[in-house]
Amino acid sequence: MERYSFSARVLHWLMAASFLFMWVCGYAMTTLVADDSALEEMLFFLHISTGVTLLFLFCLRVVARVTSSVPAPLEALTGWEKTLSHLGHLALYALPFAIIFIGWAESDFGGHGVTFFGLSMPKLFPTMETLWGFNLETTTANIHKWLAYTMLAVVVAHIAAVVKHRVEGHDVLHRMSFK
Protein backbone atom coordinates (compact mmCIF):
# COMPACT_ATOMS: atom_id res chain seq x y z
CA MET A 1 0.00 0.00 0.00
CA GLU A 2 1.20 3.48 -0.87
CA ARG A 3 2.40 5.77 1.96
CA TYR A 4 2.83 9.46 2.57
CA SER A 5 6.40 10.74 2.30
CA PHE A 6 8.65 10.29 5.31
CA SER A 7 8.69 14.06 5.93
CA ALA A 8 4.88 14.22 5.80
CA ARG A 9 4.62 11.35 8.30
CA VAL A 10 7.11 12.93 10.71
CA LEU A 11 5.39 16.32 10.49
CA HIS A 12 1.94 14.73 10.86
CA TRP A 13 2.84 13.05 14.15
CA LEU A 14 4.85 16.00 15.51
CA MET A 15 1.92 18.30 14.83
CA ALA A 16 -0.59 15.81 16.24
CA ALA A 17 1.38 15.59 19.51
CA SER A 18 1.81 19.37 19.60
CA PHE A 19 -1.89 20.03 19.07
CA LEU A 20 -2.79 17.51 21.76
CA PHE A 21 -0.51 19.44 24.12
CA MET A 22 -2.07 22.73 22.97
CA TRP A 23 -5.63 21.56 23.68
CA VAL A 24 -4.72 20.25 27.13
CA CYS A 25 -2.62 23.31 27.94
CA GLY A 26 -5.24 25.74 26.60
CA TYR A 27 -8.04 24.09 28.55
CA ALA A 28 -5.97 23.94 31.75
CA MET A 29 -4.78 27.54 31.60
CA THR A 30 -8.26 28.96 30.93
CA THR A 31 -10.35 26.64 33.09
CA LEU A 32 -8.41 24.73 35.75
CA VAL A 33 -5.66 27.09 36.89
CA ALA A 34 -6.02 30.17 39.11
CA ASP A 35 -5.96 33.48 37.22
CA ASP A 36 -2.63 35.34 37.35
CA SER A 37 -0.90 32.42 39.05
CA ALA A 38 2.66 31.36 38.24
CA LEU A 39 1.29 28.14 36.76
CA GLU A 40 -1.07 30.06 34.48
CA GLU A 41 1.80 32.27 33.29
CA MET A 42 3.97 29.22 32.59
CA LEU A 43 1.14 27.52 30.67
CA PHE A 44 0.55 30.66 28.58
CA PHE A 45 4.30 30.85 27.87
CA LEU A 46 4.36 27.18 26.77
CA HIS A 47 1.12 27.53 24.81
CA ILE A 48 2.34 30.54 22.84
CA SER A 49 5.82 29.10 22.24
CA THR A 50 4.31 25.82 21.06
CA GLY A 51 1.99 27.81 18.78
CA VAL A 52 5.02 29.44 17.12
CA THR A 53 6.59 25.98 16.79
CA LEU A 54 3.38 24.76 15.14
CA LEU A 55 3.46 27.66 12.69
CA PHE A 56 6.96 26.61 11.64
CA LEU A 57 5.91 22.94 11.39
CA PHE A 58 2.80 23.98 9.45
CA CYS A 59 4.94 25.82 6.88
CA LEU A 60 7.17 22.75 6.53
CA ARG A 61 4.04 20.58 6.22
CA VAL A 62 2.70 22.69 3.36
CA VAL A 63 6.06 22.47 1.57
CA ALA A 64 6.13 18.69 2.09
CA ARG A 65 2.57 18.40 0.80
CA VAL A 66 3.28 20.45 -2.32
CA THR A 67 6.58 18.76 -3.14
CA SER A 68 5.63 15.11 -2.63
CA SER A 69 2.94 12.82 -3.92
CA VAL A 70 0.10 11.58 -1.75
CA PRO A 71 -1.57 8.18 -1.79
CA ALA A 72 -4.64 7.92 -3.97
CA PRO A 73 -8.02 7.76 -2.21
CA LEU A 74 -9.23 4.28 -1.37
CA GLU A 75 -11.01 2.63 -4.28
CA ALA A 76 -13.70 1.39 -1.88
CA LEU A 77 -14.82 4.91 -0.91
CA THR A 78 -18.19 6.12 -2.10
CA GLY A 79 -18.53 9.55 -3.69
CA TRP A 80 -19.71 11.21 -0.50
CA GLU A 81 -16.90 9.56 1.50
CA LYS A 82 -14.33 10.91 -0.95
CA THR A 83 -15.87 14.37 -0.64
CA LEU A 84 -15.85 14.20 3.18
CA SER A 85 -12.26 12.92 3.13
CA HIS A 86 -11.18 15.78 0.89
CA LEU A 87 -13.01 18.38 3.01
CA GLY A 88 -11.64 16.89 6.24
CA HIS A 89 -8.07 17.00 4.99
CA LEU A 90 -8.59 20.54 3.72
CA ALA A 91 -9.89 21.53 7.18
CA LEU A 92 -6.81 19.95 8.77
CA TYR A 93 -4.70 22.43 6.80
CA ALA A 94 -6.95 25.50 7.05
CA LEU A 95 -7.87 25.28 10.73
CA PRO A 96 -4.33 25.14 12.17
CA PHE A 97 -3.33 28.20 10.15
CA ALA A 98 -6.46 30.09 11.22
CA ILE A 99 -6.05 29.10 14.88
CA ILE A 100 -2.40 30.16 15.01
CA PHE A 101 -3.12 33.41 13.12
CA ILE A 102 -6.01 34.35 15.44
CA GLY A 103 -3.99 33.37 18.53
CA TRP A 104 -1.18 35.64 17.38
CA ALA A 105 -3.70 38.45 16.83
CA GLU A 106 -5.11 37.90 20.33
CA SER A 107 -1.65 38.25 21.91
CA ASP A 108 -0.74 41.31 19.87
CA PHE A 109 -4.11 43.08 20.33
CA GLY A 110 -3.83 42.56 24.08
CA GLY A 111 -0.34 44.06 24.14
CA HIS A 112 1.28 40.82 25.33
CA GLY A 113 3.23 40.10 22.16
CA VAL A 114 4.31 36.69 20.98
CA THR A 115 7.48 35.03 22.17
CA PHE A 116 9.17 31.82 21.18
CA PHE A 117 10.69 30.45 24.37
CA GLY A 118 11.69 33.98 25.41
CA LEU A 119 12.62 35.30 21.96
CA SER A 120 10.34 38.15 20.86
CA MET A 121 8.57 37.49 17.59
CA PRO A 122 7.47 40.17 15.10
CA LYS A 123 4.37 42.14 16.05
CA LEU A 124 1.86 41.44 13.29
CA PHE A 125 -1.12 43.30 14.78
CA PRO A 126 -1.33 46.63 16.59
CA THR A 127 -2.09 46.82 20.30
CA MET A 128 -5.73 47.89 20.23
CA GLU A 129 -8.35 47.54 22.90
CA THR A 130 -11.44 47.97 20.74
CA LEU A 131 -12.56 48.27 17.15
CA TRP A 132 -16.15 49.15 16.21
CA GLY A 133 -17.18 48.51 19.80
CA PHE A 134 -15.63 45.03 20.02
CA ASN A 135 -12.94 44.22 22.56
CA LEU A 136 -10.35 42.79 20.18
CA GLU A 137 -8.48 40.63 22.68
CA THR A 138 -11.68 39.05 24.00
CA THR A 139 -13.17 38.62 20.52
CA THR A 140 -10.04 37.00 19.10
CA ALA A 141 -9.71 34.83 22.25
CA ASN A 142 -13.25 33.51 21.68
CA ILE A 143 -12.65 32.90 17.97
CA HIS A 144 -9.35 31.16 18.80
CA LYS A 145 -11.08 28.92 21.34
CA TRP A 146 -13.97 27.95 19.06
CA LEU A 147 -11.72 27.30 16.09
CA ALA A 148 -9.61 25.05 18.34
CA TYR A 149 -12.75 23.16 19.42
CA THR A 150 -13.79 22.90 15.77
CA MET A 151 -10.41 21.45 14.88
CA LEU A 152 -10.67 19.01 17.77
CA ALA A 153 -14.02 17.84 16.36
CA VAL A 154 -12.47 17.43 12.90
CA VAL A 155 -9.60 15.44 14.41
CA VAL A 156 -12.06 13.17 16.25
CA ALA A 157 -13.91 12.61 12.95
CA HIS A 158 -10.54 11.95 11.25
CA ILE A 159 -9.66 9.31 13.85
CA ALA A 160 -13.15 7.81 13.61
CA ALA A 161 -12.72 7.51 9.84
CA VAL A 162 -9.39 5.69 10.33
CA VAL A 163 -11.09 3.27 12.75
CA LYS A 164 -14.05 2.82 10.36
CA HIS A 165 -11.73 1.95 7.50
CA ARG A 166 -9.78 -0.46 9.72
CA VAL A 167 -13.01 -2.25 10.69
CA GLU A 168 -13.89 -2.50 6.99
CA GLY A 169 -10.50 -4.09 6.28
CA HIS A 170 -8.71 -1.04 4.84
CA ASP A 171 -5.64 -0.14 6.89
CA VAL A 172 -5.26 3.55 6.04
CA LEU A 173 -3.23 4.13 9.21
CA HIS A 174 -0.41 2.26 7.49
CA ARG A 175 -0.08 5.22 5.09
CA MET A 176 0.96 7.43 7.99
CA SER A 177 2.91 4.87 10.07
CA PHE A 178 6.62 4.12 10.26
CA LYS A 179 6.60 0.31 10.20
> Which amino acid belongs to residue 18?
S
d(CA 22, CA 15) in angstroms, rounded, equals 10
Query: According to the model, what pLDDT value does residue 37 have?
Result: 95
> Which amino acid belongs to residue 15?
M
pLDDT < 50 positions in the chain: none
**Is 153 within a domain?**
yes
* CB atoms closer than 10 angstroms to residue 22: 24
Query: According to the model, what pLDDT value does residue 74 have?
Result: 83
**Is 93 within a domain?**
yes
Q: Which residues, listed in sequence order, are joined to residue 134 by a DSSP beta bridge?
A: 131
pTM value is: 0.89
CATH of the domain at 132: 1.20.950
Any residues with CB less than 8 A from the CB of 100 and at least 6 apart, and which? 51, 54, 55, 58
Query: According to the model, what pLDDT value does residue 90 have?
Result: 96
Query: According to the model, what pLDDT value does residue 142 have?
Result: 96
> What is the bridge-based pairing of β-strands 119-120 and 115-116?
antiparallel
**Is 45 within a domain?**
yes
Q: What share of the chain is helix, strand, coil (3-state, %, to 5)?
A: 70, 5, 25
Q: Is 128 helix (H, G, I), strand (E, B) or coil?
A: coil
What is the domain extent for residue 157? 6-176
Per-residue pLDDT tens digits for 9-45: 999 999 999 999 999 999 999 999 999 999 999 999 9
Half-sphere exposure of 111 (CA within 13 A, CB side): 4
Query: According to the model, what pLDDT value does residue 179 have?
Result: 83
Q: Is 166 helix (H, G, I), strand (E, B) or coil?
A: helix
Query: According to the model, what pLDDT value does residue 103 have?
Result: 97
**Is 117 within a domain?**
yes
Under 8 Å between Cβ of 95 and 147: yes
CA 99 → CA 51, 112, 117, 171, 176, distances in Å? 9, 17, 19, 30, 24
Number of domains in the chain: 1
Under 8 Å between Cβ of 99 and 151: yes
Query: According to the model, what pLDDT value does residue 1 have?
Result: 60
**Is 1 within a domain?**
no
Query: According to the model, what pLDDT value does residue 136 have?
Result: 92
Query: According to the model, what pLDDT value does residue 40 have?
Result: 94
